[in-house]
Amino acid sequence: MDISVVIPLFNEEESLPELATWIERVMTDNGFSYEVIFVDDGSTDRSMEVVRNLAAANPAIRAVSFSRNYGKSPALNVGFKRAQGDVVITMDADLQDSPDEIPELYRMIKEEGYDLVSGWKKKRYDPLSKTIPTKLFNATARKVSGIPNLHDFNCGLKAYRNAVVKHIEVYGDMHRYIPYLAKNAGYRKIGEKVVQHQARKYGHTKFGLDRFVNGYLDLATLWFQSKFGVKPMHIFGLFGSLMFILGFIAVLVVLILKIVSINSTTYHFYVTKSVYFYLSLAAMVMGLQFFLTGFIGELITRNSPERNNYLIAEEINHTPDSSK
């Protein structure tokens, strides 16, 4: 099978028939063998009924439905697990992304050897309140992820080599950072294609302003995971040591000043009035806490089933037979 199209949807009943017909037309025009996987993320409108009818009319259409609204990332995750096509395309259900982009995305993966191609809505049809924060968000994501060539991390329209979607785990709200997840999994050939974007035709956006706060927090989490996920002691141990040394120096200062003042008749030193006393207390307690956090982090990673998951690119073995 050439292509799997994975479409997460949450209350998009009006758009679905048009979207399905459009995809079908593109696929038959280009002679692709394909499947469409609709993932209904707990819609409360008639979306699933519409999907059921579409699937009855076209055997290439499959569907999964959540019992409640879990979010776009879980929906993608479930779609990815089921995708069988060589190239997996994700697309929003609201007709903001155009299925006409599919053939070129497919070609970039197949012929130009990209692992992942992300759409770039260069000209957006969204309100300013969304486009300006999005620019800032993408600039930060470029820096933190070390993928300098992407302008639009969160574009719903993306294409992947099948292996990529099987080796990344999208959860929470991490769909905003799939290119970063792919890079961390070792897929480095990440490209971009300018795509057409349209104003939402039906319904309304499913994400509020909290997307920006959560987006930044998730980025911090990902950065931390990719840097220190399997070796938390490397960061907490460092902070802990620095703090502890600082506290230790402060204790020495307090001691020396006290000894000096004991032996002096003119100089009076009160330990509890000294800034060094409080500094030593605070720094040593914090240092110890950093250390303990590091140890606990190490114990957790030791128990993590992921700790020895390496993605092997190639392996050469000689069986006794082949060396003869």
Q: Is 141 in the site for ligand UDP (CB under 6 A)?
A: no
**CA dihedral (122, 126, 129, 133) positive or negative:** negative
Q: How far apart are the first and last CA of the chain?
A: 38
Neighbours of 132 (CB within 10 A): 10
The two most distant CA atoms of the chain are separated, in Å, by: 99
Q: CB nearer to ligand UDP: give 49 or 112.
A: 49
- Find the binder of ligand UDP among 20, 37, 63, 75 (CB under 6 A): 75
- Find the binder of ligand UDP among 13, 24, 41, 192 (CB under 6 A): 41
The entry of Mg ion, ligand UDP, none that residue 10 binds, CB within 5 to 8 Å by partner kind:
ligand UDP
- Find the binder of ligand UDP among 50, 93, 147, 181 (CB under 6 A): 93
Interaction mask 76-115, Mg ion, x per CB under 5 A = ----------------x-x-x-------------------
172-197: burial string, b at 16+ Cβ within 10 Å, e else:
ebbbbbbbbbbbbbebeebbbbebeb
Q: Is 198 in the site for ligand UDP (CB under 6 A)?
A: no
The entry of ligand UDP, Mg ion, none that residue 71 binds, CB within 5 to 8 Å by partner kind:
ligand UDP
Nearest 5°: the CA angle 93, 91, 44 is: 30
The entry of Mg ion, ligand UDP, none that residue 9 binds, CB within 5 to 8 Å by partner kind:
ligand UDP
Q: CB nearer to ligand UDP: give 10 or 180.
A: 10
Neighbours of 269 (CB within 10 A): 15
Q: Distance between CA atoms of 165 and 150, rounded to whole angstroms?
A: 19
Q: Is 69 in the site for ligand UDP (CB under 6 A)?
A: yes
Residue 235 phi, psi dihedral angles, 5° rounding:
-95, -45
Separation in Å, CA 5 to CA 62, 69, 140, 260: 10, 21, 29, 77
Which part of the chain contacts ligand UDP (CB under 6 A), choosing from 57-65, 203-211, 240-248, 309-317?
203-211
Q: Is 9 in the site for ligand UDP (CB under 6 A)?
A: yes
Give the binding site for ligand UDP (CB under 6 A): 8-10, 12, 41, 69, 71-72, 75, 92-94, 96, 156, 205-207
